[in-house]
Structures are given as C-alpha cells and as structure tokens.
Amino acid sequence: MPKFSLDQKLEELQERYDTLSAELSRREVINDRTQYTRYAKEHAELSKIVELFQKKKSLDTQLEENKELLHDPDDEVRELAHEEIRNLQEELKQVTEAIQRALLPKDPNDEKNIVMEIRAGTGGEEAALFAAELFRMYSRFAEKNRWKVDMLSQNVTGIGGFKEVIFLVEGKGAYSQLKYESGVHRVQRVPETESQGRIHTSAVTVAVLPEAEEVDVEIDPTDLEIDVYRSSGPGGQHVNTTDSAVRITHKPTGIVVTCQDEKSQHKNKAKAMKVLRARLLDRMEQEQHREISEKRRSMVGTGDRSERIRTYNYPQNRVTDHRIGLTLYKLDAILEGELSQLIEPLTAHFEAERLKAGYDGAEDA
C-alpha cells in the first residue's frame, strides 16, 4: 500500500479552505444563516492547519536554498549553511508534528460536559476520606476553569468521607481536560486515627463519563424499572417523610442508578436519568473500543479503569502519574486544583501515542 502523503492531504485541505473563503463572500451564502454558520465553522477549523502548511512550505523552500549553498566555494558560506540547515530541520520537525496533531480526528466527546463518579475502594474510612479530597480537588479545578459542578448523588460516611459521590461538571471542554482521570488513584499517608504514625495505603476509583444527551442514547421507557422510596441519611426534614428517592434499573444491561439528594422526586429522577444515559453511552463506547485492533489498543492505551494511574504520597508532598512516569513534589498545589501540571503532560503523551498509531503505517492511503 502506498505511504500516506502528508503534503497531498494538506494540498487538499488548502483547496477546501480556498473554496470556503470564496463561498463565504457570496451573497447567497451570507443570506443563508445555516449554511454560512456551517461554512464559517469549517473555515475556522481549517485556518490553523493552512497557516501551519504555509509555514511548512516556507521552511521547505529555505531548506532547499541552503542545501544549494553547501556547494559554495566559500568555506564560511558552507559552514553557515550547515548551521542554518540544522536549525531549519528542527523547526520543520516541530511544525510537522503540530500539523499531524491538528490532523488527528477530534474526539466527538471533547466539548461535552462530564459525569464524574468517585468511589472509595481499599482502605475503608481512610479511602472514603480520600474520595472526599479528590472531589474537592476536581471541584477546585472546575472553579478555576469557571465550570459549574452539580451534585447528582452522594453516599456520605460518618466522619465526612464519601463511599460514593457522583457529580456533573458543566463547561466547555470539560471532557477533553478530565478524560484521562479515569482509573485507580492510590493514596499513601498517616491516617488521623493511626496512633503509631504508620503510613497506610488506600485506593479510590474515578470514572469520567461524557454527558449523554437523549439523541446520543435512545432509551426505551419499557426497558426501565423505576422504584421510589424514602430517603435516608443527611438531608433535612424531607428525609424519611416522603417517597422522594428514586432507583432506576435498566433491565437490558442491569445498570442500576439511585438518587436521593433532592426533595423533589422529579428532580431526583432527572438526575438519575443523566447518570444512566452517561453510563449507557460509556458502555457503548467501551464495546466499540474492544473492537479496535490489539496493535492500536496497545499504542493508545486501554483506558481501563482497573489500572492504577496515580499515587498521592502525603509525607513527601509527592504525586506520581504512573502512565507517563511523571513525579511532582507539588501535592499540596495539585489538591488545591492545580491539575493542569498533570493534565497538560498527559494530553501531550496520549496525542503522541495517537500520532504513532496514525502515521506509522496506520494511515496508508
């Protein structure tokens, strides 16, 4: 099979960009708001790639010109040409990588809101307390990004921890920023109840699901079994007085969702449906991922939530992401919501892995 031609692809995109530029100036298109909006969006998406392509062509030209100077009789000219070629090749490499990243297929979920689920695992009460710490960490990160956090469901322990907490994060690009947080988060610290100062290890699982709209997941009402019951636990006067809590069972998959945070049964049902749709969409996507070839899965990572992804060591103020071997001695800042220091290297790593999958033979024409 012929090798995938990057320049050929870029030429095609340049032609499309030029066509759109011409179309956007036509009166018929300007007067058709729907068509104009569609063309303008595509034009804007292509503009960065076209700009990079123009820069690449300029660098290619400069490189050829300097290669011709290698035959110059003047030693100083040849030496300067060698140095300039090295600089141009490095810059060309960076521009080419930027183009390849820009050409990667966009994750259709990247701009979506997310449903985040945090559950205490190994470690009992200490794990539940750490689940609460993670909830605060993600809430602070959301606040820094001016996103909204809406509690969907919580199971609070006696001393302020969470056995389970499910919440919605609403904001542009929430999924793209937090999608790599799914997995097992391990904490190493001395619990307050530990009299001898021994470090304990506990674990919490995190799941990040793109919020699913009704158009994303079609649910047959006859597939649902909906039960209402009286709420229990913290919640004010309505607890144990009205049947406001809701349990929804999706019979084909066996997925069960409960919600009792609101006084209104209707609000609890709406929140439970949000979680159910997100879990069903996630299940559909997981099944699709399993159909991908073993080679590509090994390149881009499985995203399996059973994988231990990160360790938080309190005595050393250290956080380590095991997927990319990154260690930062800034645990206090991370817990205050400074997650970008982890998210940006993770995003760069997984983009690089996708580039390997996309351009090392997988994108043959």
Q: What are phi and psi of 241, to 5 degrees?
A: -115, -25
Q: Which is more confidently placed, 239 or 89?
A: 89
* Domain containing residue 86: 6-103
Domain check: are 225 and 123 in the same one?
no
Residue 269: both structure tokens together: 């049902």
Give pLDDT, residue 233: 56
> Is 128 part of any domain?
yes
Distance of CA 263 to the CA centre of its chain: 33
> Is 362 part of any domain?
no
Domain check: are 202 and 236 in the same one?
no
Of 233, 262, 287, at which residue does a domain stop? 287
Give pLDDT, residue 101: 79
Domain check: are 279 and 140 in the same one?
no
> Is 160 part of any domain?
yes
Amino acid at 29: V
Residue 281: both structure tokens together: 């969409």
DSSP structure class, residue 236: -
Domain check: are 187 and 49 in the same one?
no
Domain check: are 122 and 269 in the same one?
no
CA neighbor of 343 nearest in space, from 137, 168, 202, 93: 137
Provide the domain count of the chain: 3
CATH code of the domain in which 233 resides = 3.30.160.20
Dihedral-angle region of residue 120 (phi above 0 means left; psi in -120 to 50 means alpha; beta otherwise)? beta
Of 223-237, 239-253, 267-281, where does mean pLDDT reach its minimum?
A: 223-237
Give the CA distances from residue 276 to residues 225, 259, 286, in Å, rounded to whole numbers and listed in that order.
Answer: 12, 11, 15
* Highest mean pLDDT, choosing among 46-50, 241-245, 351-355: 46-50
Average pLDDT over residues 20-41: 92
Average pLDDT for the chain: 84
Domain check: are 207 and 69 in the same one?
no
SS3 307: coil
Domain check: are 226 and 283 in the same one?
yes
CATH code of the domain in which 338 resides = 3.30.70.1660
Residue with token string 């200490």: 126
Residue 255: both structure tokens together: 């997925």
> Is 150 part of any domain?
yes
> Is 298 part of any domain?
no
> Is 295 part of any domain?
no
* Highest mean pLDDT, choosing among 48-57, 223-232, 287-296: 48-57
- Assign 232 a pLDDT band (cuts: 50, 70, 90): low
Give pLDDT, residue 16: 94
**pLDDT tens profile 286-326:** 776 665 444 334 433 433 445 789 999 999 999 999 999 99
Of 103, 124, 158, at which residue does a domain stop? 103
pLDDT above 70: residue 236: no
Of 46, 68, 103, at which residue does a domain stop? 103
> Is 109 part of any domain?
no
> Is 1 part of any domain?
no
DSSP codes, 35-92: HHHHHHHHHHHHHHHHHHHHHHHHHHHHHHHHHHGGG-S-HHHHHHHHHHHHHHHHHH
Residue with token string 């209707």: 266
Domain check: are 244 and 137 in the same one?
no
d(CA 87, CA 63): 10
- Assign 162 a pLDDT band (cuts: 50, 70, 90): very high
pLDDT above 70: residue 215: no
Q: Which is more confidently placed, 129 or 243?
A: 129
CB 128 within 8 A of CB 163: yes
Overall size of the chain counted in residues: 365
Domain check: are 22 and 55 in the same one?
yes
d(CA 259, CA 106): 33
d(CA 225, CA 2): 54
Domain check: are 71 and 156 in the same one?
no
Domain check: are 94 and 178 in the same one?
no
**pLDDT tens profile 172-182:** 889 999 999 99
- Assign 353 a pLDDT band (cuts: 50, 70, 90): confident
pTM above threshold 0.75: no
Domain check: are 174 and 228 in the same one?
no
Give pLDDT, residue 220: 85
d(CA 309, CA 205): 10
**pLDDT tens profile 117-133:** 999 998 888 999 999 99
Give pLDDT, residue 291: 56
